[in-house]
Amino acid sequence: MRIDVLTLFPEILEGPLKASLLGKARDAGILEVALTNIRDHTTDKHRTVDDTPYGGGAGMVMKCEPLFAAVESLRSKNSLERVILMSPRGKPLTQAKLRELAQAPDLVLICARYEGVDERVSQALVTEEISIGDYVLSGGELPALVLIEGLSRMLPGVIGDWESVETDSFFKGVLGYPQYTRPPVFRGMDVPETLMSGHHAAIGRWRRKEALRATRLRRPELLAGLSREDEELLAEIAREAPVPEEEIEP
């Protein structure tokens, strides 16, 4: 898979893209990430990428011309079917969206700066806008890294054991179950006996139940469309430890 990132600050992305699993995925040829400096597609001696907004107001707006030129320069390497603007007004990034994007042969990610981009970029160039949360950062570089990191985990060969991916929070619609490792007792806190029993069916049931328990307490809106077995586990959880209404996060 190929991802092209358009940015004014490629140095923000260079280090993380070389580290850990992302670096290994790139070295193995599973993932190709190319960085394009938007300033390289300006035509004036000052390499201008922004201007004041029509109608007045604070800040600067990224200009159309360099962004169009930067994206169109990728035409020979990309299908340009998925041109994504990292934007706080975009749809929230979810695990389901990452799985969808991982099926694409290539992506173009635009990292906005300043007060955003000229709206004509969104109208005629961008196919979708994606946000990583209801807050504002100084630019789209960190959101782009979040998207690339999450998406890379969906690519075969990046994670050595696919079960690690399948047990991630949100992969199967609910939060992840609690994890433990050695020692079995630490400062009076014990590892649950079930996990040390060697009984795989019992361990699987315990993990699913605890995943549902965490989801019920922290993200109850995710508990939709569950199987009958999950509904039975939730009823069991409710009987064991009813959660006061005020403690369940909205």
Phi, psi values for residue 207, rounded to 5°: -65, -45
Question: 28: pLDDT confidence band, cut at 50, 70 and 90?
Answer: very high
User: Could you say which of 65, 115, 128, 149 is catalytic?
Assistant: 115
Asked about 82 being catalytic, the answer comes back as no
Q: Structural domains in the chain?
A: 2-152 (3.40.1280.10), 185-247 (1.10.1270.20)
Rounded to whole angstroms, the Cα distance separating 152 from 165 reads 11
Q: What's the chain's Rg over C-alpha atoms?
A: 23
Question: What are the Cα distances from residue 146, in Å, to 48, 86, 129, 143, 184?
Answer: 28, 10, 14, 5, 34
Rounded to whole angstroms, the Cα distance separating 85 from 108 reads 8
Q: Within 10 A of 85 (CB to CB), how many other CB atoms are there?
A: 25
Asked about 44 being catalytic, the answer comes back as no
Question: 164: pLDDT confidence band, cut at 50, 70 and 90?
Answer: low
Average confidence score pLDDT of the chain: 93
Rounded to whole angstroms, the Cα distance separating 42 from 67 reads 9
User: Could you say which of 153, 210, 216, 230 is catalytic?
Assistant: 153
User: Could you say which of 26, 65, 168, 178 is catalytic?
Assistant: 168
Question: 198: pLDDT confidence band, cut at 50, 70 and 90?
Answer: very high
Contact between 180 and 192 (Cβ < 8 Å) = yes
Poorest-pLDDT segment among 11-20, 139-148, 163-172: 163-172
User: Could you say which of 16, 53, 88, 178 is catalytic?
Assistant: 88
Asked about 161 being catalytic, the answer comes back as no
